[in-house]
């Protein structure tokens, strides 16, 4: 049972990439239809409409949000927001859409769906949910979860989440996802019946693996660094943006005071009066314009936030890899030590310290029969171990291959989306400047007529 | 030079020609006043202006104009007499140019103070020379203002910058404060120079031309402290009695001043606040751009876009700085000056009321007293003239002031609007050029993919 060291090494290294295969999700392929991006709230396009294999298209939208009161698990009254999810199937020929399903879900159900997806698709960069609580707020914006603006932005975020999942080549086929969109009652029970919570890796195990793994794939290590950097830089950017927005708000709003004072002043002026009055009106317009401008910017911030949260999804994939790799390393180590034990028993030499060896020394040697029995047991274990190692190795390679494919897909999506977002930011600035020129030109005219 | 007006007649040195850099008082030297003042050449065409230089002409009615003045008789020319009633501003005829600059700190055992250099260039005959350089401190300006108010109680004297600003003053003389004060002092002197009456005030001339020791001795002339105090007491007493018969037009004026004062104060506060907010916006922007550069270090495919955005933000923040600067030059000082003016105006109204009260009380006295009626009647006669003169002076100056105010306010706000338009136009260009570069790149990439 000699093990060539080179062999052992190879077994511990992740395998090089091979052509894509479909992972074993353990569930039937859900539905055959492919989802397409919505026509409304046109923030997303491009990547959504790429997977156009199927004849029947589906439109998903989160069209409404409603405040509700109900009783929670502890029979206490609570207020929450429910979101209406509408699914439409678009007949290919005449383009008319028919409402096929419509149901209400609350945020916690979205969370449940996502947690399920995380467990069953650990090699996929699972799209993130919009934030639970408002962060990176500037002073005007409410941090209250019940605030209508926050609810509205969350509605858009949830719709975005569903669209991302629906346009993912693998996730879109998941049955639980399909049921989420179509089966209102009992869905929670169905998810829990899958027992996914039990399958989930414990946090502690994952942390342990991160520290102890010896030979993770370098690409995953780099990816981890990248996701840390992405998270840090986007957080920083969002914080400063919020402060800048605050200041800009101040500049605009103070001008509004001119409007009031000019108006009062114009009452005592004869020649200057009209000019003052109308200039004052333009100052009011200027002050009011900042609300829409910052509303638009908030959408931009949300686009960045999505990628802030995606960083966590990336890290989750890296963690899974580390866990699997660590598992593999442990299994190989275990196998190696068993083989060594076996060898020692067979040859009678004691190279390594073992409790058995010590007790043998203290209490006398064992009989050849006992030794034979032990060798047999070990040999069985070794066999088992080798089988396991082989399958773990295969699993590991499959995982790396598939994960990396999804990461490449994600990278392209990210580059496209972020570039679009930055360009849309420029467009917003241009619009703001044009408005500014308009207002001040009008004001200047009024002033010059005074 | 053709058509140059003759050099001022050299005078015996009563006062030595002031300061370094003063041109020789002799003839033949080109007038500094005429450089860059083509208007002077125009002025020659009008014969009337010959007289402006002629100090020797005194108005017979001078005594009426300087009711409480103990200063030497104010020289006026026939033209400026007319101006006192009509106050038509004739900027083309400007022959007195004043600059205030070079603040310098002086330390003595008792105190530290700042002096400002004042350079005067003039072509007027009554000045011994055509150029003067003196140093004055804030106290001297205060003195001048006091003298002007004494001499012309119902004229609208330009305001001085405040003595000190209470809030936020860590160091009494920080650079910003000194610079703001310097600009305001410059304005102050130039406003006096532009005023048809005040420009010929003797104390003003002394202020501009006398050396330090001369000024001190000149200051000592005039009413003693006690008599000045007596005046103040009378003034307070009469203002407390209130004015019963304020004519309607002065009622209107009073009401206008009250409302105006309120509004201009508000506008001052608003404008200062806008400046503050813009400054804080600018400060935040300084951090905003560099984050994008930081980000570009970890994103291969987004480097151009991120660096582009960072560049735009930085350029826009420079434009913001420029806008702030423009605001602090064009709008803030003007608005603040009118805040001070509105205080001045209240004072002028009070003094006019006080003069009228003097008359009213004497009239009242006449109805009760039977003795000394002749004397009283004579006094009343004089006071009636005094009141009429004061009222006329104020009325005329009021019209002039209002017109100036409208022009200044209009100008200041138009400039503010202009600054904002420039700011937004600049930013628009910056972002548009970024956008074009991005779409160009996109088209390039698209065509590359196809090939």
Q: Is B417 on the interface with A (CB under 8 A)?
A: yes
CA–CA separation, B46 and B51 (whole Å): 10
pLDDT at B22 (0 to 100): 38
User: Under an 8 A CB cutoff, do A255 and B428 touch?
Assistant: no
Q: Smallest Cα–Cα separation from B358: which of B443, B234, B246, B448?
A: B234
Give me Rg for the CA atoms of chain B.
29
Tell me which chain A residues have a C-beta less than 8 angstroms from the C-beta of B312: 426, 429
Distances in Å between the alpha carbon of A286 and those of B266, B273, B281, B297? 19, 16, 17, 38
**A433–chain B Cβ distance below 8 A for any pair:** yes
Nearest CA in chain B to A272: B406
d(C-alpha B149, C-alpha B383), whole Å = 19
Q: Taking CA atoms, what residue in B is nearest to A241? A: B288
| CB neighbourhood size of B376 (10 A) | 15
Task: Decide if pLDDT at A391 tops 90.
Answer: yes
pLDDT digits (tens, 9 = 90+) for B169-205: 555 667 888 888 999 999 999 999 999 889 888 889 8
Instruction: For residues B280 and B342, give the distance between their C-alpha atoms in angstroms, rounded to a whole number.
Output: 30
Answer yes or no: do A444 and B409 touch at CB < 8 A.
Answer: no
Task: Answer whether A46 touches B (CB < 8 Å).
Answer: no
**DSSP helix/strand/coil, A404:** helix
pLDDT of the residue at A10: 43
Provide the shortest C-alpha distance from residue B25 to chain A (in Å).
45
Please compute the mean of the pLDDT values over residues A14-38 and round it to a whole number: 34
* pLDDT 10s digits, A220-267: 999 999 999 999 999 999 999 999 999 999 999 999 999 999 999 999
**Lookup result for tokens 């342990």:** A208
Model pLDDT, residue A46: 34
> Cβ contact (<8 Å) for A450 and B406?
yes
| Cα Rg of chain A (Å, integer) | 31
Q: What is the pTM of this model?
A: 0.76
Q: How far apart are CA B416 and CA B422, in angstroms?
A: 10
**Pairwise CB contact (< 8 Å): A440 & B259:** no
In the numeric block, the tokens 């330009």 are attached to B158
Residue of A nearest to B266 (CA): A261
Banded pLDDT at A1 (limits 50, 70, 90): very low
What percent of the residues of chain B are helix, what percent strand, and what percent coil, each to the nearest 5? Answer: 65, 5, 25
Q: Which of residues 268-287 of B touch A (CB under 8 A)?
A: 270, 273-274, 277-278, 280-281, 284-285, 287
**C-alpha to C-alpha distance for B394 and B65, rounded to whole angstroms:** 11
| Cα–Cα distances in angstroms (integers) from residue B210 to residues A174, A307, B205, B278, in the given order | 96, 74, 8, 44
Assess contact for B294 and A235: CB atoms under 8 A. Answer: no
Measured from the Cβ of residue A157, the count of other Cβ atoms closer than 10 Å reads: 19
Q: What confidence tens digit (pLDDT) does each residue in A178-216 have? A: 999 988 888 889 998 888 888 888 888 888 888 898 988
**DSSP 8-state symbol, B243:** -
* Best residue of B259, B270, B316, B442 to probe chain A, by most A CBs closer than 10 Å: B270
What pLDDT sits at residue A253?
Answer: 95
Q: Cβ contacts (< 8 Å) between A447 and chain B: which residues?
A: 410, 413-414, 417
- Greatest CA separation found in chain A? 122
DSSP B265-329: HHHHHHHHHHHHHHHHHHHHHHHHHHHHHHHHTT-STTHHHHHHHHHHHHHHHHHHHHHHHHHHH
Q: How far apart are CA B172 and CA B183, in angstroms?
A: 17
DSSP reduced 3-state for A80: strand
A437 has pLDDT over 90: yes
Q: What is the DSSP letter of A151?
A: H
Mean local confidence (pLDDT), A392-398: 93
Rounded to a whole number, what is the distance in Å from the CA of A337 to chain B's nearest CA? 43
Compare all CA atoms of chain A with the CA of B295 and give the residue at the minimum distance. Answer: A233
Q: Which residues of chain B have pLDDT under 50?
A: 1-87
**Does A431 touch chain B if contact means CB atoms closer than 8 Å?**
no
Ranges A99-113, A288-302, A354-368, B269-283: which has the least confidence: A354-368
Minimum Cα–Cα distance from B416: chain A residue: A444
* B234 touches A at CB < 8 Å: no
Handedness of CA A122, A127, A130, A135 (dihedral sign): positive
Percent of chain A with pLDDT over 90: 48
Chain A interface, best mutation among B291, B303, B398, by max A CB count within 10 A: B291
Chain A stretch 408-427, residues whose beta carbon is closer than 8 A to a beta carbon of chain B = 415, 418-419, 422-423, 425-427
* Distance, CA of B281 to CA of A255 (rounded, Å): 15
Q: Tell me, what's the pLDDT at B130?
A: 85
Task: Measure the CA–CA gap between A305 and A309, rounded to whole angstroms.
Answer: 6
pLDDT of B175: 82
Average pLDDT over residues A339-351: 76
Are A272 and B409 inside 8 Å of each other by CB? Answer: yes
- Which residues of chain A have a CB within 8 Å of the CB of B298? 226, 229-230, 233
pLDDT of residue A359: 65
Rounded CA separation A374/A382 (Å): 12
Query: What pLDDT score does B54 carry?
Result: 34
Candidates B292, B399, B408, B413: best to mutate against A (most CBs of A within 10 A) is B413
Q: How far apart are CA A445 and CA A435, in angstroms?
A: 16
């Amino acid at each position: 049972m000699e093990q060539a060291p080179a062999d052992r090494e190879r077994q511990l290294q992740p395998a090089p990439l091979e052509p894509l295969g479909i992972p074993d999700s353990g569930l039937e392929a859900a539905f055959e239809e492919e989802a397409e991006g919505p026509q409304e709230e046109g923030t997303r396009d491009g990547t959504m409409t790429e997977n156009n294999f199927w004849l029947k298209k589906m439109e998903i939208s989160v069209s409404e949000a409603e405040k509700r009161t109900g009783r929670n698990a502890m029979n206490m009254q609570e207020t929450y927001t429910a979101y209406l999810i509408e699914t439409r199937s678009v007949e290919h020929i005449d383009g008319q859409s028919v409402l096929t399903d419509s149901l209400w879900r609350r945020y916690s159900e979205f969370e449940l769906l996502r947690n399920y997806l995380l467990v069953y698709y650990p090699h996929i960069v699972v799209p993130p949910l919009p934030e639970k609580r408002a962060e990176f707020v500037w002073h005007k914006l409410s941090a209250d979860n019940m605030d209508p603006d926050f609810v509205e932005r969350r509605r858009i975020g949830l719709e975005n989440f569903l669209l991302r999942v629906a346009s993912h080549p693998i996730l879109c086929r998941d049955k639980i996802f399909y049921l989420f969109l179509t089966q209102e009652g009992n869905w929670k029970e169905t998810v829990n019946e899958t027992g996914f919570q039990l399958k989930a890796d414990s946090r502690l195990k994952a942390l342990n693996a991160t520290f102890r793994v010896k030979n993770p794939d370098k690409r995953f290590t780099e990816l981890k660094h990248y996701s840390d950097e992405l998270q840090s830089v986007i957080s920083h950017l969002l914080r400063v943006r919020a402060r800048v927005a605050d200041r800009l708000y101040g500049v605009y709003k103070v001008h509004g005071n001119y409007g009031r004072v000019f108006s009062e002043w114009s009452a005592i002026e004869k020649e200057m009066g009209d000019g003052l009055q109308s200039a004052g009106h333009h100052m009011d317009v200027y002050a009011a314009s900042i609300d829409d401008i910052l509303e638009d910017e908030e959408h931009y911030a949300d686009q960045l936030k999505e990628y802030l949260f995606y960083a966590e999804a990336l890290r989750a994939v890296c963690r899974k890899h580390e866990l699997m790799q660590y598992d593999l390393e442990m299994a190989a180590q275990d196998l190696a030590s068993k083989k060594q034990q076996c060898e020692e028993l067979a040859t009678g030499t004691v190279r390594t310290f073992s409790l058995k060896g010590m007790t043998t020394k203290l209490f006398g040697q064992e009989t050849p029969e006992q030794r034979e029995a032990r060798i047999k047991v070990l040999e069985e274990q070794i066999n088992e171990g080798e089988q396991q190692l082989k399958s773990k190795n295969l699993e590991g390679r499959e995982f790396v291959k598939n994960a990396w494919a999804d990461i490449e897909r994600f990278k392209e999506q990210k580059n496209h989306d972020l570039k679009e977002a930055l360009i849309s930011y420029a467009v917003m600035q241009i619009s703001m400047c044009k408005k500014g020129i308009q207002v001040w030109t009008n004001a200047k005219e009024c002033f010059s007529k005074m | 030079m053709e058509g140059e007006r003759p050099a001022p007649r050299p005078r015996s040195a009563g006062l030595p020609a002031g300061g370094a850099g003063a041109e020789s008082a002799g003839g033949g030297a080109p007038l500094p006043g005429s450089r860059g003042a083509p208007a002077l050449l125009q002025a020659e065409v009008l014969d009337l202006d010959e007289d402006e230089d002629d100090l020797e002409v005194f108005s017979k009615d001078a005594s009426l104009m300087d009711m409480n003045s103990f200063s030497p008789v104010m020289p006026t020319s026939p033209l400026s007499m007319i101006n006192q009633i009509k106050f038509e501003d004739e900027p083309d005829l400007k022959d007195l140019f004043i600059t205030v600059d070079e603040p310098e700190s002086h330390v003595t055992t008792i105190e530290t103070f700042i002096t400002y250099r004042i350079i005067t260039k003039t072509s007027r005959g009554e000045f011994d020379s055509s150029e003067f350089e003196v140093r004055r401190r804030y106290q001297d300006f205060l003195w001048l203002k006091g003298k002007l108010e004494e001499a012309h109680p119902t004229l609208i004297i330009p305001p001085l910058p405040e003595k000190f600003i209470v809030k936020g003053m860590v160091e009494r003389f920080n650079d910003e404060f000194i610079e703001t004060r310097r600009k305001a002092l410059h304005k102050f002197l130039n406003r006096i120079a532009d005023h048809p009456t005040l420009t010929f005030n003797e104390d003003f001339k002394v202020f501009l031309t006398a050396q330090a020791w001369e000024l001190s001795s000149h200051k000592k002339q005039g009413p003693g402290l006690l008599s000045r105090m007596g005046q103040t007491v009378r003034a307070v007493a009469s203002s407390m009695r209130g004015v019963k018969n304020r004519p309607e037009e002065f009622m209107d004026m009073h009401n206008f001043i009250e409302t105006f004062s309120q509004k201009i104060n508000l506008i001052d506060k608003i404008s200062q606040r806008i400046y503050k907010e813009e400054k804080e916006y600018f400060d935040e922007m300084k951090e905003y751009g560099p984050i994008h550069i930081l980000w570009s270090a970890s994103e291969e495919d987004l480097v151009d876009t991120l660096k582009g955005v960072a560049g735009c933000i930085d350029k826009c923040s420079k434009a913001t700085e420029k806008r702030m600067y423009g605001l602090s030059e064009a709008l803030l000082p003007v608005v603040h000056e009118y805040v001070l003016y509105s205080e001045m105006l209240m004072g002028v109204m009070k003094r006019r009321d006080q003069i009228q009260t003097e008359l009213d009380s004497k009239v009242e006295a006449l109805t009760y007293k039977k003795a000394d009626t002749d004397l009283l009647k004579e006094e009343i006669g004089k006071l009636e003239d005094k009141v009429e003169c004061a009222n006329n002076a104020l009325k005329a100056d009021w019209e002039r002031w209002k017109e100036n105010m409208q022009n200044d306010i209009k100008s200041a706000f138009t400039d503010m609007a202009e600054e904002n338009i420039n700011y937004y136009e600049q930013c628009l260009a910056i972002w548009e050029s970024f956008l074009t570069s991005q779409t160009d790149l996109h088209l390039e990439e698209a065509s590359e993919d196809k090939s």
